[in-house]
Amino acid sequence: MRRLIVFPVLVIFLIIVGYSGWWYLLAARTEAGFQAWIDERRAEGMEVTYQGYTISGFPREVRLAIDQPKVRTAGPKGVTVWTTPFAAAWATPWSPLTIMVEPSGQHSLLIQQGDQRTELDVRATALLGRVMIGNDGQIQSADVSADGLVATANAEEVGRFSRFVLRLSDLGNLGTTSPKNLRMEVANLILPQLRGQPLGSRLEALALDADLTGVIAGRAPSQMVTMWRDTGGRAIINDFRATWGHLALAANGEGSVDHDLQPNLKLDTRTTGLPETVDALAAKGYLKSGAATAVKFALTVLGSRSSSGPRGSIDLPVSIRNQTVFLGSIGLAKVPDVVWY
């Protein structure tokens, strides 16, 4: 009888000891990985500082919390400084390759280029990320979601949205030409600088599903885009949707960049609300009444009534090449230079 009691107690004891040992092993690896990441960034010339950090969460999770992290980079074109009050990441002992990231809802980015100083500030009511690690130690996918985000530049609001979701998949292919998938959804995007414009300052919905081929590597955006272009980089747009004022747009197609790193784009679009959009442009003085009539006529000639889309929808080919937007073969407007720092 005594042996029957001792055996299960011993089993439970061994399970507790084993689990505790596993937790402390993961905690030690987390701390070592954090310090190694800092050393790598410093070796690259970055200044990484923080007020302190803790590792806690036993027994449910291994949680790394960093107090007042700060990252400063300096180069020929200027200085960039990122700060936030805190950042945290955690994983459970039974699923250590799934890392949840909970940064602060407040982030500041200072960009100093010569005499030009820009202070970007981002605040969100909720901000959460998830990173999936493969058995080879490489990141396989990453998700980010944000609610109630407001962005300001030099204390002036530049945008806000109620909901944002970004999903990156197949990230193990970043160093190869194999596809990487990107999905993004934005709800109720408000751009104050567009207030009073023909379509208004609120984009009700914005969504993108795209596969990126080509190698994505480097730290500076110009380096990354150059590498992507030189390795045959293409953006295969599986689905793009936007609702803005009277206009509802759905599109698919393909994009790339040219030798000057300027965008090339070819889309098959399906739109509703085009006549109303033309009327809105005319009402704001962007088109004269005669021009508005001519544009509506051109839409009927260049486009085709969609047989499968909503009533009143029109299918149109849209492209960007040589920094010009084309509707079919007709050039509509010039595209400003895209500057990659």
Summarised one tens digit per residue, pLDDT across range 146-156 is 999 999 999 99
Number of Cβ within a 10 Å radius of residue 135: 7
Number of domains in the chain: 1
Q: Which of 262, 222, 257 is nearest to 76 (CA)?
A: 222
Q: What pLDDT is attached to residue 70? A: 96
Q: Does any domain span residue 197?
A: no
Q: CA 23 from chain center: how many Å?
A: 33
Say if residue 307's pLDDT is above 70: no
Q: Which helix (H) or strand (E) holds 225?
A: helix 221-230
Instruction: Record the pTM.
Output: 0.84
Type of residue found at 240: F
Which pair of structure tokens corresponds to residue 186? 């934005």
Q: Which of 312, 252, 244, 323 is nearest to 281 (CA)?
A: 244
Say if residue 274's pLDDT is above 90: no
Which pair of structure tokens corresponds to residue 340? 């990659």
Q: Does any domain span residue 192?
A: no
- β-partners of residue 301 are none
Q: Does any domain span residue 154?
A: yes
Say if residue 331's pLDDT is above 80: no
Say if residue 289's pLDDT is above 90: no
Q: Does any domain span residue 209?
A: no
- Please give the residue range of the domain that contains residue 95: 1-169
Spatial separation of the C-alpha atoms in residues 44 and 311, rounded to whole Å: 56
Q: Does any domain span residue 270?
A: no
Q: Using CB atoms within 10 A of its CB, is residue 320 exposed (0-12), middle (13-18) or buried (19+)?
A: middle
- β-partners of residue 103 are 87
Q: What pLDDT is attached to residue 255? A: 97
Place 167 in a pLDDT band, splitting at 50, 70 and 90: very high
Q: Does any domain span residue 280?
A: no
Q: What pLDDT is attached to residue 311? A: 65
Which pair of structure tokens corresponds to residue 236? 């295969």
Spatial separation of the C-alpha atoms in residues 71 and 77, rounded to whole Å: 17
Q: Does any domain span residue 68?
A: yes
Cβ–Cβ < 8 Å for 28, 20:
no
- Supply φ then ψ for residue 119, to 5 degrees: -110, 110
Q: Does any domain span residue 340?
A: no
